[in-house]
């Protein structure tokens, strides 16, 4: 058997024994799955939710359009947000910039102080290490995964054409009704419980980056979409409410175009697509 075939076979067998991602040496000396790789696979189904972005008609803000979408493929998403220790692995390997977080946070708490650019860098590094394609979820995928914990835009926000300030006033009231208390310090994973999908910590005190760009949409007189412009220098974050931040921002309180008070913390979790090198090798060998 040639050295090349032996190398491919050894890589394939290693990947086969670690289908969920990285491994670490546990206290008992055995290899254990890297905790960041714990995932839940969501069964395809429909979702009706408010589209992200800004909607205008005659130059005045309008309520976000609500659309029904159908997912036709399963979605495999991380059970927990990427943790401090997970992200530190990427930093140590030279794949990520250090998080802009100076507080003492448990190593198994979600990493915070990370921008959209940082989250994408981690996804790229993690994909290279595990052999699968990891990426940020779209806003739509995040909403589907969050299920009953998805908030999106504030409900009941009024749009008074003669008084645009009315929208901001009712947005503030909607947030007060959420009974949100100051809770800035990230907690150990699992502290905010599990939703009906078996996924942890949705809409806790860490907002999560998505791959969805900010969109400015102009509506026609009949309510249909007349035009839209994507601004991919700004991306959507989801949490207790939807927020919009520039790609380089790592601290939600430093500024952004969020409705309501700024996000306490910025973090992320990833979706896995099975199209990486490990899956291709194993598929070619008939293992998967």
Query: What's the pLDDT at 36?
Result: 45
**Could you tell me the pTM of the whole model?**
0.77
> pLDDT value at position 223?
82
CA angle 65, 258, 212 (to 5 degrees): 60
* Confidence at residue 228, expressed as pLDDT on a 0 to 100 scale: 85
HEC string of the chain equals CCHHHHHHHHHHHHHHHCCCCCEEECCCCCEEECHHHCEEEECCCEEEEECCCEEEECCEECCCCEEEEECCCCEEEECCCCEHHHHHHHHHCCCCCCCCCCCCCCCCCECCCCCHHHHHHHHHHHHHHHCCEEECCCHHHHHHHHHHHCCCCCCCCCCECCECHHHHHHHHHHHHHCCCCCCCCCCCCCCCCECCCCCECCCCCCEEEEEEEEEEEEECCCCCEEEEEEEEEEEEEECCCCEEEECCCCCHHHCCCCCCCCCCCEECCCEEECCCHHHHHHHHCCCC
> What's residue 198's pLDDT?
96
Answer positive or negative: Cα dihedral of 258, 263, 266, 272: negative
pLDDT of amino acid 259: 54
Q: For the chain, 288 residues long, give each residue's pLDDT as a single digit of tens.
A: 444 333 333 333 333 333 333 444 333 333 333 444 799 999 999 999 899 998 888 888 888 888 899 999 999 999 999 999 999 999 999 999 999 998 999 999 999 999 999 999 999 999 999 999 999 999 999 999 999 999 887 544 444 445 544 554 445 455 554 555 666 899 999 999 999 999 999 999 999 999 999 999 999 988 888 888 889 999 999 998 899 999 999 988 776 554 557 788 999 999 999 755 555 554 555 554
The per-residue pLDDT for 92 is 96
Give the whole-angstrom CA distance, residue 207 versus residue 262.
10
Measured torsion, CA atoms of residues 92, 187, 197, 239, in degrees rounded to the nearest 10: -90
């Amino acid at each position: 058997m040639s050295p090349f075939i032996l190398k491919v076979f050894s890589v394939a067998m290693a990947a086969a024994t670690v289908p969920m991602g990285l491994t670490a040496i546990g206290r008992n000396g055995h290899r254990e799955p890297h905790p960041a790789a714990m995932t839940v696979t969501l069964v395809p189904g429909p979702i009706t939710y408010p589209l992200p972005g800004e909607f205008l008609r005659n130059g005045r803000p309008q309520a976000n359009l609500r659309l029904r979408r159908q997912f036709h493929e399963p979605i495999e998403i991380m059970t927990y947000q990427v943790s401090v220790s997970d992200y530190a692995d990427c930093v140590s390997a030279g794949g990520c910039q250090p998080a802009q977080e100076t507080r003492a946070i448990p190593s198994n708490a979600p990493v915070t102080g990370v921008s959209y650019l940082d989250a994408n860098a981690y996804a790229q590094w993690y994909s290279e290490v595990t052999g699968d394609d990891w990426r940020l979820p779209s806003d739509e995928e995040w909403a589907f995964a969050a299920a009953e914990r998805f908030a999106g835009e504030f409900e009941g926000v009024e749009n008074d054409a003669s008084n645009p300030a009315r929208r901001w006033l009712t947005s503030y009231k909607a947030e007060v009704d959420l009974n949100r208390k100051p809770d800035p310090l990230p907690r150990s994973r699992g502290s905010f419980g599990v939703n009906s999908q078996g996924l942890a910590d949705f809409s806790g005190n860490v907002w999560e980056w998505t791959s969805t760009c900010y969109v400015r949409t102009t509506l026609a007189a009949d309510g249909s979409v007349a035009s839209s412009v994507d601004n991919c220098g700004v991306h959507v974050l989801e949490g207790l409410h939807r927020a919009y931040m520039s790609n380089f921002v790592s601290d939600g309180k430093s500024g952004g175009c969020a409705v309501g008070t700024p996000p306490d913390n910025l973090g992320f979790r990833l979706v896995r697509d099975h199209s990486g090198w490990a899956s291709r090798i194993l598929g070619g060998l008939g293992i998967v």
